Amino acid sequence: MKIERRELIRQLSPETAVNVLLACWDYLETGERPCGLSPIESVAFASFMPDMEEAWKSYLQRITARKADAV
């Protein structure tokens, strides 16, 4: 996640911030959007989606490039 999003997290209550960050990690592990988030948690989670998808795509490109270099 981009460091610029830190301000968003700081504006949330500590409990909400933790729930959002855990939901992001769960999404990265499972690829499934979390259910059971409150409306504000869902909005905050959605704001991280582009960052997470960009980071995942970049990660996959690095993995693919390493495999190609190893051949």
Averages of pLDDT over each 10 residues, the chain, 71 residues: 82 96 90 93 92 84 83 67
What pLDDT score does 71 carry?
67
At 35 the pLDDT is 92
**CA distance readout (Å), 52 to 3, 4, 12, 36, 63:** 12, 13, 19, 20, 16
Q: Identify the pLDDT of residue 58.
A: 86
pLDDT of amino acid 55: 81
